[in-house]
Chain A
Amino acid sequence: MTTTDERPARRGPRWNVDGRALRLWTISGLATTYLVAWWCFAPAPTTAPVADEPLPAPVPTATAAPIPPAVWWHDLPPSERPAIALPSGWVVTATKPGDGPTLKPVPIARRPPARRVRVRTRSS
């Protein structure tokens, strides 16, 4: 008697997915996982809102005054330079060569020691 294995006919895959589709599904799944994780664990933004969002208007205070435009004293014409009362020993120095007095280096004296120096006189 010839026996023949009669195996049941092999069932096909439940989802018939080829290799290309499998890669797409894998990439999509990883991207989704990444986005969900980012949404849950990313630190809160510490910088100012993005530039295209409107900035909140500054709250005016009682002492607030319009800020005048800043200008370097040396950039003013000499006739418009205001007189400045400097503390004793201070001088206005030059911002570029030939624009004013140049400070010379001042030797720095060492501070005297905190302990009082005592001399002892005696016969010797």
Chain B
Amino acid sequence: MVELRAMGTTVTVHAPTLSVEGEAAAAAEVAAQFASAEARFSRFRPDSELAQLNRATAPFAASPAMMAALARAQAYVELTGGRFDPAVGGAMIAAGYDRAFAPGALDRATPAEAPPPARFADVTLDLARGLVARPPHVQLDLGGMIKGATADLAARHLPEIAALDAGGDAVLRGAGPEGDGWYVDVEDPADPTRTLITLRIRDRAVATSAANRRRWRRGDAWAHHLIDPATGAPAATDLAQVTIVAPSAERAEILAKAVFIAGARAGRALLANLSTIGAVLVDHHGDVELIGPLEVAPDA
């Protein structure tokens, strides 16, 4: 197992079929992949391509990687009925998430400001010419999606049996070190030291969204990073946590966020059309609901 820091979180590489040296070399490839993605897509680095796009006052000539990411984001906006929308960057800044997160670093005594209304539909993508036209009030944030996408890309550098865990977004290749699947513990959002349920996962990815970790004080209230595009404010939902098992970490990350924001009822409706997606919904009472194809480990 090799650990490294990237995108403000801990990335762990498990490659049990490799030697210690081979695992370290694979982790170095993973680190390079994350560093490259962070340099391009970080909202907090002034020299990143995304920061330049967010400052651009004229149609922006984007790289193929940026255009591909924006095109995928557009598809996810449609897939989730707008629960995922990368145009919430301005709302995140208004909520106080204007720098890299660290516990306590975003706390403010003043309440959150009114967020500017923005939708990704206001952004024009010219895929043929690689141009992005962004209205001044729209600030883009691709953080979670890019973290998932980078985990998917980086996992290609790993052997057939390997796991890459990027702060809870994990790509699980093969059937695990013992052939009976990777054992994935789903954290209890009410007590992070406890495990709610253990899933057995093969050749899929998992991601979890909750408001219990990346949150900060704004005046007398808590704010968190899961912005509801409909209101521009941190989502107020009947779900405490959503875990999604999907073919890719990018899709798992997007759907976990969208279902969390949608709430239990609309989230179930969203998942009903996605037969390959498994979900673990946890409400504020600690009740757990399993949806879709999931394998629960017998010792859970």
A interface residues with partner B (beta carbon < 8 Å): 109-110, 112-113, 116-124
Partner pick for A123 among B177, B198, B212, CB 8 A cutoff: B212
Partner pick for A121 among B1, B207, B211, CB 8 A cutoff: B207
Identity of the chain A residue whose Cβ is nearest the Cβ of B244 in the assembled complex: A121
How many Å lie between the Cα of A123 and that of B189 in the bound state? 9
Asked whether A119 lies within 8 Å of B213 as measured between CB atoms, the reply is no
* Secondary structure call for the B interface: strand
Residue interface bits B9-21, CB-to-A below 8 A is 1, else 0: 1001010111100
The distance from the CB of A108 to the nearest CB of chain B, in whole angstroms, is 10
Binds A, one of B46-54, B102-110, B120-128, B166-174: B166-174
Known interface pairs A121-B170, A122-B208, A123-B168; A116-B186 also in contact (CB < 8 Å): no
Other than the known A119-B182, A120-B187, what 11 A-B pairs have Cβ atoms closer than 8 Å?
A: A116-B183, A117-B176, A119-B170, A119-B206, A121-B169, A121-B185, A121-B206, A123-B168, A123-B211, A123-B213, A123-B214
Partner pick for B9 among A112, A119, A124, CB 8 A cutoff: A124
Known interface pairs A112-B17, A124-B167, A124-B168; A119-B185 also in contact (CB < 8 Å): yes
Asked whether B209 lies within 8 Å of A123 as measured between CB atoms, the reply is yes
* B16, B172, B195: residue with the most chain A Cβ atoms closer than 10 Å: B16
* A113, A116, A119, A123: residue with the most chain B Cβ atoms closer than 10 Å: A123
Asked whether B186 lies within 8 Å of A117 as measured between CB atoms, the reply is no
How many Å lie between the Cα of A113 and that of B19 in the bound state? 11
The distance from the CB of A4 to the nearest CB of chain B, in whole angstroms, is 109
**Which residues of chain A come closer than 8 Å to B163, judged between CB atoms?**
117, 119
Asked whether B177 lies within 8 Å of A117 as measured between CB atoms, the reply is yes
B interface residues with partner A (beta carbon < 8 Å): 1, 9, 12, 14, 16-19, 163, 165-170, 172, 176-178, 182-187, 189, 192, 195, 198, 206-214, 241, 243
Asked whether B213 lies within 8 Å of A112 as measured between CB atoms, the reply is no
How many Å lie between the Cα of A123 and that of B209 in the bound state? 5
**Which residues of chain B come closer than 8 Å to A121, judged between CB atoms?**
168-170, 184-187, 206-208, 243
**Which residues of chain B come closer than 8 Å to A112, judged between CB atoms?**
16-17, 177-178
Asked whether A117 lies within 8 Å of B183 as measured between CB atoms, the reply is yes
Top 7 nearest A-B pairs (CB, nearest first) are A124-B167, A123-B210, A112-B177, A122-B187, A122-B168, A121-B208, A112-B16
The distance from the CB of B223 to the nearest CB of chain A, in whole angstroms, is 15
How many Å lie between the Cα of A121 and that of B201 in the bound state? 12
**Which residues of chain A come closer than 8 Å to B172, judged between CB atoms?**
119
How many Å lie between the Cα of A118 and that of B163 in the bound state? 10
The distance from the CB of A119 to the nearest CB of chain B, in whole angstroms, is 5
Identity of the chain A residue whose Cβ is nearest the Cβ of B8 in the assembled complex: A124
The distance from the CB of B98 to the nearest CB of chain A, in whole angstroms, is 19
Identity of the chain A residue whose Cβ is nearest the Cβ of B20 in the assembled complex: A110
Asked whether B209 lies within 8 Å of A113 as measured between CB atoms, the reply is no
Partner pick for B178 among A110, A116, A120, A122, CB 8 A cutoff: A116
The distance from the CB of B43 to the nearest CB of chain A, in whole angstroms, is 16
How many Å lie between the Cα of A122 and that of B186 in the bound state? 7
**Which residues of chain A come closer than 8 Å to B187, judged between CB atoms?**
120-122
The distance from the CB of B286 to the nearest CB of chain A, in whole angstroms, is 15
